[in-house]
Amino acid sequence: MIKAQADIQIEQSPDAVYGFITDGFERNYPRWSPEVKELRLLSKGPVRVGSVARQVRVDQGRRTESTFKITHMQPDQRLTFQGTTFPFRVDFRLDPVDQHTKLSFTFELRRLDLFMRPFEKLIRMAVQDGAKRTVRNLKRLIESEHAAAAPTDRN
């Protein structure tokens, strides 16, 4: 198993961070993870436990398609999904810190195909870099959109 984890503090409340991740999931996920070239919810209605999505990714020049299912949602605290066609797990945890949010992101690749094992160290480094990039992208997107939406104080 390959596991990567990254944390970051976001200058917004947990409900704002959770809302950005879950309410706009289909639109925002490719924005914070630009490797996702296509994302489509296969379930009707809002994102909820049991929702299924299909994604097309290009990682290091390699195109993959997979479906995943939302397995855990706890408002303002946690979102987890895992692959149904490919063995991965993604977990977002949100913890309040004063008026801000500590976002912890974990990605687990639960199985590595035999032909990929010689490249395990490179894959591990790429996955860790991807985890760090994901939290930085989320921070940038959430803070910039909330700043743009905030009313200005003009006298």
Question: What is the mean pLDDT of each successive set of 10 residues along the chain, which is 155 residues long?
Answer: 93 96 93 94 94 92 93 97 92 95 91 61 77 95 84 53
Residue 154 lies in a domain: no
CA–CA dist 126, 135 (Å, integer): 15
Say what the pLDDT of residue 128 is.
83
Say what the pLDDT of residue 37 is.
95
Print the domain residue range for 34. Answer: 2-148
Residue 99 lies in a domain: yes
Say what the pLDDT of residue 116 is.
62
Residue 153 lies in a domain: no
Helices within the chain (DSSP H only): 14-23, 25-32, 120-149
Which DSSP symbol is given to 7? E
| 102 φ/ψ sector (left φ>0, alpha ψ -120 to 50, else beta) | beta
Residue 64 lies in a domain: yes
Query: Into how many domains does the chain fold?
Result: 1
| 90 φ/ψ sector (left φ>0, alpha ψ -120 to 50, else beta) | beta
CA–CA dist 13, 95 (Å, integer): 9
Say what the pLDDT of residue 154 is.
46
Look up the CATH number of the domain holding residue 139. 3.30.530.20
**pTM for the whole thing?**
0.86
Q: ∠ CA 84-89-91 to the nearest 5 degrees?
A: 135
Residue 18 lies in a domain: yes
SS (H, E, C) 82-109: EECCCCEEEEEEEEEECCEEEEEEEEEE
Residue 100 lies in a domain: yes
Residue 137 lies in a domain: yes
Q: Is the dihedral of CA 96, 11, 90, 79 positive or negative?
A: positive
Say what the pLDDT of residue 112 is.
65
